[in-house]
Amino acid sequence: MSMTVLGPLPESADRLDVVREWRIDDLIDVLGCEKEVVEAALAKLDYSRDLRAQLFVPPELTVPATFTGGHRTYVCVNQKGGAGKTTTAVELAAAWVAMGYTVRVIDADPQEASLSGEWLLPNFEGIAAKDRHTLTDVLFDRQPLDEATYETSVQGLYIVPSGDELATAEYDPRAARDGSLRTAIRKSKAPVDITIIDAPPALGKLSINGLIAADQVIVPLKVGALDRKALVDLHKTIRRVQDDENPELVVAAAVMTSWDKSNYAGLVGAALRRDFPEAIIAPARRNVQVAAAADFGLPVRALHPRATTTGDYDQLARLLLPVKGAAA
């Protein structure tokens, strides 16, 4: 398998403004109100200034956060299908690899058209079929995580494939006990700086395991009515895990995927601010090149370094972490 090397992006004039004060906050109080009340609040916003694509950083948050080595685990989670979890996991992973980090992505989605089945393919070259291990083996305690970690076609980016039987872990009492994925990651001796868990579109055992294992949460949310309604259960689940299982868990960012310049994008942003006030809110602008990149088994960054999607995730990645070696 040939290897793709990712490097710094070219300078772009299409970068997002980073703001500490966001007029979208004015919409929080009208969420759930009658249509007329919402429309009146929207009318007070300036379409070209307040509803354009902006990266919001809470005033109390220091960016980029310091990273003094060791290992950090992120989980991309949302029970709504099509929210952009996999795209977010892949593009953040690619950005961090380009920043000097070694990254492992865990495919925790049992769907057939999953990350490791269609996009970041594991390099099984020279490995007999019986010796190819997956996350399923890890969650059933048949193999340690390092035995299920494989190179991809991107240098510095590794994948843990999901496995054909991963769906059984949701209901089999022998598998994916609460905290089992966290234990597997802590026992890992693989030389990776960052692990990203791509959770399934459900709030079952696999997603809960991801939340328990993670240091930080990334919430991708498509700009749409049904997606905004899904926030209610997701918010409750994250807060429950924080209260009962993982008190150090932090919601680091919420990503508005398929972002467009519309009033509804403003309402989605307000809902995210209400539910996750501690998080960076980042738009990922709509781009047709994401699907093409998946067909080639590469991040968008590798094929289209000037694409808006590439630049949007690159900016978010640099707010979440410094370039490796640039900050102590």
State the Cα–Cα distance between residues 239 and 216, nearest whole angstrom.
13
Looking at the chain, how many residues does it have? 328
Domain membership of residue 218 (yes or no) is yes
Domain membership of residue 36 (yes or no) is no
Residue 77 is part of a domain; what is its CATH number?
A: 3.40.50.300
Domain membership of residue 156 (yes or no) is yes
Domain membership of residue 62 (yes or no) is no
Nearest to 191 by CA among 74, 71, 325: 71
For 174: left if phi > 0, alpha if psi spans -120 to 50, otherwise beta; the answer is: alpha
Domain membership of residue 264 (yes or no) is no
- Going residue by residue through the chain (328 aa), what tens digit of pLDDT does each one get? 677 888 887 776 568 889 898 888 989 999 989 999 988 988 888 766 766 788 999 999 988 877 777 899 999 999 888 888 999 999 999 999 999 999 999 999 987 656 887 788 899 999 999 999 999 999 999 999 999 999 999 999 999 999 888 988 888 888 767 789 999 999 999 999 999 999 999 999 999 999 999 999 999 998 877 777 788 899 999 999 999 999 999 999 999 998 877 778 888 899 999 999 999 999 998 777 777 777 888 899 998 888 888 999 999 999 999 988 775 4
Structure-token pair, residue 99: 């920043």
Total domain count, the chain: 1
DSSP characters over 88-155? HHHHHHHHHHHTT--EEEEE---STT-IIIIIS----TT--GGG---HHHHHTTSS-GGGG-EE-SBT
Structure-token pair, residue 69: 């080595």
Domain membership of residue 60 (yes or no) is no
Give the burial class of 15: count Cβ atoms within 10 A of its Cβ; 0-12 exposed, 13-18 middle, 19 or more buried.
middle
Residue 177: how many CA atoms within 13 Å on its side-chain side?
7
Domain membership of residue 159 (yes or no) is yes
Structure-token pair, residue 307: 């694409």
Domain membership of residue 225 (yes or no) is yes
Is the distance from CB of 270 to CB of 231 less than 8 angstroms?
Answer: no
Nearest to 318 by CA among 289, 288, 272, 282: 282
Could you tell me the residue range of the domain that residue 210 belongs to? 68-258+295-320
The answer to pTM > 0.75 is yes
